[in-house]
Structure 1
Amino acid sequence: MFVSVALLILIQSAAVVPVTVTSRSPQVQVEEFSDAELSCEFRTEKDNNPRIEWKKIDKDVSFVYYGSRFVGPFQGRAEIEGATVRLRRVTQADAGKFRCEVSAPQDSVTLGETNVTLTVLVPPQMPSCDVPSSALTGSQVELRCRDQHSIPPAVYTWYKDNRALPIRQPNATYTIDEFSGVLTFQTVSRADTGQYYCEARNRVGSSQCPGTHMQIDDLNVAAVISGVVILALLVLLCAFGVFYAHRHGYFSRHRGRSFWIPQCHGAAHISSQNLHRTEHTQNSGYSHPPKEDFKHTQSFML
């Protein structure tokens, strides 16, 4: 009797299973423009016709599957089987976190949910490469390569004359950051002259930029010295010209100018030549006596 009661309790407890929702693949990664399956599996306690909803969790929550139909951008390009959704030709706009919700009003636990994250993989496009056309020996030179679209982020390989440059090589005159795409020569030499290009690659593809020729030339020391000497001579010549002009009074003479000098009885116009003549007379120590104004008078004999 005791065994029968215990067995009955075990059967009843086994049948009472609240709604549960799980996913076989919580993390989904597919290439762009291929199909993606968002797995959702559920089990209910009593409710044989639960309500199934899919939502996309971004900055805002938007419906994917609601009211037994797909809505928004998923309409016409998705299908559902049970609670599992299959999206056709996914793009970057589809990437993100999705939530599968199962509502069972007749169960003791009425709601269950699970999340699925979709990552859309994108191969590198043609990277942008910055290679200088020329440089001088002994200078520091950087070559840059960058791809903005690859998912996951690309790693970079530099080539010189169609041969890959090793990232790590003893006594190398350069360094390569394979994650940023920067090739750095601390001091370039003529041996570094050649054609350079870069390849960006990730797990789904690769791409490369066109090659660019970089010419390394020696610094022309003789030409630099000649230029410095010529510049110094020009500076000295200009200084001598200024000194000569100042010495001969070209900066202090006023030729052909006239002035108006106020007098007690009016204004008299005096030319600059008269001024010079007056200065010369004063310098010689001689001055004309001033002319006296007089009136002619007559005397009368009384």
Structure 2
Amino acid sequence: MEGTSLYLPIVILLMQCSPSAPVTVSTNKHKVEVQEFSDAVLSCTFRTERDPNPRIEWKKKGKDVSFVYFDGHFKGPFEGRATIDGATVTLRGVTQEDAGEYRCEISAPHDSVNLGETNVTLKVLVPPQTPSCEIPSGAVTGSVVQLRCRDRHSIPPATYSWYKDNQQISPPRNANATYLINSRTGVLEFKAVAKEDTGRYSCLASNGVGPPKMCEGKHMTIEDVNVSAVVAAVVVVCLVIVICGCGGLVLHRNGFFSRHRGRSFWISQCHGAAHISSQTLHRTEDTSNVNYIPPPQEPQDFKHTQSFML
């Protein structure tokens, strides 16, 4: 007993002299990822040196720091849709507006270190939406064709895969492939389309958060170029130009163009023929309108229309 009584004052003295831990703040998860419209738990734990009732505050960082929890109450958009347990906050039905960086602050005025804080980043995930697809209805063989697919709302960004006639198009295995697929941008590009590429195309967007979404399919038809028809139309146009040129030269030598009317008539006929030929080349429905302007009367053609009396 006497030995114990001797050591007891020493133990008490050591306990009084030993330093106490100041306020400390921590979290068990610095990055929180939850799906949109679900609940998010922002963890915050603390320990104080002396102060039994420290002040708890939550703030959200942004262009301006705003209060989430202050003076025992939730503020702004968090009022009525958040709860607190100790210093841990639960947000209900989070949206993209709630995403961001949050800070938990513990203030203990009676501690030697009277302020501690920790940060928690909230990321709100959005499942894929039905992507918008740009699929041409037709093209000619040998041309470059791009099909586009895009979902601008999914978080994280969606990746894309293409389907032809309900069968997935495999990514090209070598550089000699006739097409390219960019799974990040959603672009399917044909370097030179062929008739075999005709079919119904659709695109699938996925990001691992929710079920994938596919756009409505669209049929794309690839047709051959009618080379013989194009060549024939070009030949006809050339012949018309040559005939008009030669005919005009012959008529000029024979004095046909001595009067303006003859020249205007010949020009109008050549213009009309050239325009009709260009219709065949371009397959348009335009018609040619040639305006005829009567030539002015020459002096020798003037006749009196009434008698003059001196």
* TM-score relative to the length of structure 2: 0.77
Other structure's SS at 1:157 match? strand
The residue identity in structure 1 corresponding to 2:300 is Q
Q: Gapped runs of 5+ residues in structure 2?
A: 1-5, 264-294, 303-310
Find the counterpart in structure 2 of residue 40 from structure 1. 44
Aligned pair partner of 2:179 in 149, 174, 179: 174
Q: Is 1:248 matched up with 2:257?
A: yes
Q: Is 1:207 matched up with 2:223?
A: no
Aligned pair partner of 1:136 in 134, 140, 145: 140
The whole-number CA distance in structure 2 between the counterparts of 1:231 and 1:247 is 25
* More strand as a share of residues: 1
Find the counterpart in structure 1 of residue 300 from structure 2. 273
Bigger Rg, structure 1 or 2: 1
Q: Is 1:196 matched up with 2:223?
A: no
Question: How far is 1:137 from its partner?
Answer: 0.7
Compared with structure 1, are the counterparts of its residues 137 and 274 closer, same or farther at alpha carbon in structure 2 (3 Å cutoff)? closer
Other structure's SS at 1:115 match? strand
Find the counterpart in structure 1 of residue 231 from structure 2. 225
The whole-number CA distance in structure 2 between the counterparts of 1:238 and 1:107 is 105
CA contact (8 A) 2:158 2:207 kept: yes
Other structure's SS at 1:248 match? helix
Find the counterpart in structure 2 of residue 285 from structure 1. none
The whole-number CA distance in structure 1 between the counterparts of 2:24 and 2:248 is 98
The whole-number CA distance in structure 2 between the counterparts of 1:237 and 1:106 is 108
Compared with structure 1, are the counterparts of its residues 9 and 146 closer, same or farther at alpha carbon in structure 2 (3 Å cutoff)? same
Compared with structure 1, are the counterparts of its residues 49 and 234 closer, same or farther at alpha carbon in structure 2 (3 Å cutoff)? farther
The whole-number CA distance in structure 1 between the counterparts of 2:155 and 2:65 is 24
Q: Is 1:88 matched up with 2:129?
A: no
Compared with structure 1, are the counterparts of its residues 223 and 18 closer, same or farther at alpha carbon in structure 2 (3 Å cutoff)? same
The residue identity in structure 2 corresponding to 1:108 is S
Find the counterpart in structure 2 of residue 154 from structure 1. 158
Find the counterpart in structure 2 of residue 13 from structure 1. 18
The whole-number CA distance in structure 2 between the counterparts of 1:247 and 1:47 is 117
The residue identity in structure 1 corresponding to 2:52 is N
Q: Is 1:235 matched up with 2:241?
A: yes
Question: How far is 1:232 from its partner?
Answer: 2.1
The residue identity in structure 1 corresponding to 2:143 is S
* More helix as a share of residues: 2
The whole-number CA distance in structure 1 between the counterparts of 2:237 and 2:17 is 104
Q: How many residues align?
A: 260
Question: How far is 1:100 from its partner?
Answer: 0.5
The whole-number CA distance in structure 2 between the counterparts of 1:150 and 1:238 is 65
CA contact (8 A) 2:30 2:120 kept: yes
119-128 or 164-173, larger mean C-alpha shift:
164-173
Question: 5 Å matches for 1:54-65?
Answer: 54-65=58-69
* TM-score relative to the length of structure 1: 0.79
Other structure's SS at 1:120 match? strand
The whole-number CA distance in structure 1 between the counterparts of 2:301 and 2:221 is 73
The whole-number CA distance in structure 2 between the counterparts of 1:214 and 1:68 is 63
The whole-number CA distance in structure 2 between the counterparts of 1:76 and 1:234 is 84
Compared with structure 1, are the counterparts of its residues 72 and 240 closer, same or farther at alpha carbon in structure 2 (3 Å cutoff)? farther
The whole-number CA distance in structure 2 between the counterparts of 1:238 and 1:8 is 123
Question: How far is 1:157 from its partner?
Answer: 0.5
Question: How far is 1:240 from its partner?
Answer: 5.4
The residue identity in structure 2 corresponding to 1:217 is E
Find the counterpart in structure 2 of residue 187 from structure 1. 192
CA-to-aligned-CA distance 1:235-265 (integer Å, 9 cap, x gap): 34554576557961344996326xxxxxxxx
227-236 or 50-59, larger mean C-alpha shift:
227-236
Q: Gapped runs of 5+ residues in structure 1?
A: 258-271, 276-302
Identity of aligned residues (%): 55
